[in-house]
Amino acid sequence: MSAGTSAAQMIKQVVTTLKMTPVFEAVSIPFVQQFLDDDKRTRSACAFARRSR
């Protein structure tokens, strides 16, 4: 439910151990599946407007 935030925290430990520089900036989109259609493309803004009414 945290949009992969905990997984990102775990991989940062591995990355720093390998002397790589982790990127701390991220945009988490919770429940991203609700924004995708059956072909895994983003739905149109019209669909979101109808849903919010």
pLDDT value for 48 = 56
pLDDT digits (tens, 9 = 90+) for 1-53: 566 778 878 888 888 888 887 777 777 777 878 888 888 888 765 555 566 55
**Phi/psi at 36 (5° precision):** -110, 145
DSSP codes, 15-43:
HHHTTPPPP------TTGGGGB-TTS-BP
Q: Is residue 26 a contact partner of residue 8, using CB atoms and an 8 Å limit?
A: yes
